[in-house]
Amino acid sequence: MPGYEWFGAEERKEVNDVLETGILMRYGFDAQRKGMWKSKELEKEICSYFGCEYAQLVSSGTAALTTAMAALGIGYGDEVIMPTFTFVASFEAVLSVGAIPVLTDVDESLTLDPKAVERNITPRTKMIMPVHMCGSMSYMDELKAICQKHNLILLEDACQSIGGTYKGKHLGTIGDAGTFSFDFVKIMTCGEGGVVMTNNKDVFIKSDGYSDHGHDHLGVDRGADLHPFIGYNFRISELHAAVGLAQIKRLDKVLEVQRSRHKQLKNALSDVNGLSFRIVPDESGDTCSFLSFFFETEAQTQKFVALCSEAKLPGIFYWYNNNWHYIRKWDHLKNAVLLNKFPPETIEKVKQIVNAPFPQSDAVMSRCVSTPINLGWTDEQFAERCAKLKELAAEAVK
């Protein structure tokens, strides 16, 4: 991880196809593009590879979440249950449609704790949004059962787990809809981009229009399209889709390398006393883009992080102190610093929820460290990293 590490002739060929036509936009210009439709081709490949009925490419993973929520009918006053550990885009998307992000505890799976989800359901709850963090998956059976019990929508934020599966089904295809991010540091990259995946035709049609100014795309040309509803400009470009076409064809190899190295690194650290590993609800479906592990105490964890810093060992993620991924550092959300105006009752509700204590999540994240499984390491570099991480972890628990 990530896909940008393997970027070569295949990506350049696909991009040059687009450059030769000069048509960079995904819609229109039918004659000039000479039959070249990279976005449509990638959407078809996504449906085939991941096993969904429909795929709508958009400009980013954030745009995919926003589009999916709009298509699923999420809006003003609705409460969306999401984890305390995620990327900021998750709550940004919830707020973008006027809904309220209900931050909810995670456990040692680093994903939503189903018991905590149950505790947070109110009459205003409309959706549960599990985030499949760091390459692995949420407890999908339990979350689906909760959604069925309370008549809730299930939207998967699978932006960090492209290629992962749960009991034979690809992450992102299990709920009412699912999303991927194809930004530069994802398992599969387009440079920038995202996708909404669904098996619901109505959700797809709404996603298709919403992501392109409400166009219904049923006219004989773009200018003849009707506009059944208002939409926005979340289009992907043909250049970005072209990169994705090359990347999806190498995804199997990416996952193979990640899983092999993940196993080697986990074996190397297994001998360290007191160290434990992330819970994975279906280990066979883990993308293995990260290895995440726990020390027994916060003090040991911080000592390990300090030792890695002193040793100038890159790629050590202590999420507890990370201002992109964990509630503890999201001051802009806690203070509701928004450039556009929101209803006062929405602002107050958000502040109330996000400023609550999260001792369960703190107890998990304060002891957690993750390391990415890079593709660019040579075998020698990887072996050295395994040995160094083991040495420093053993030193931290003394």
Catalytic residues: 186
Which token pair is 90? 């998750």
Contacts of 289 (CB under 8 A, 6+ apart): 1, 2, 134, 135, 160, 161, 187, 258, 372, 373
Whether 325 contacts 319, CB under 8 Å: yes
> Which tokens belong to 270?
């297994």
Prior bond to 359 cis, omega within 30? no
Helix (H) or strand (E) holding 46: helix 38-50
- What does residue 213 show for φ and ψ, rounded to 5 degrees? 60, 20
Q: Which residues contact 337 (CB under 8 A, 6 or more apart)?
A: 331
C-alpha 217/C-alpha 37 separation (Å) is 15
- Cα 221 off chain centre by: 34
H or E stretch covering 353: helix 344-354
Taking phi over 0 as left and psi of -120 to 50 as alpha, with beta for the rest, 82 belongs to beta
Rounded to whole angstroms, the Cα distance separating 313 from 265 reads: 15
Contact by Cβ (8 Å): 164, 137: yes
Residue among 203, 209, 184 at smallest CA distance from 194: 184
For the chain, state the CA radius of gyration.
21
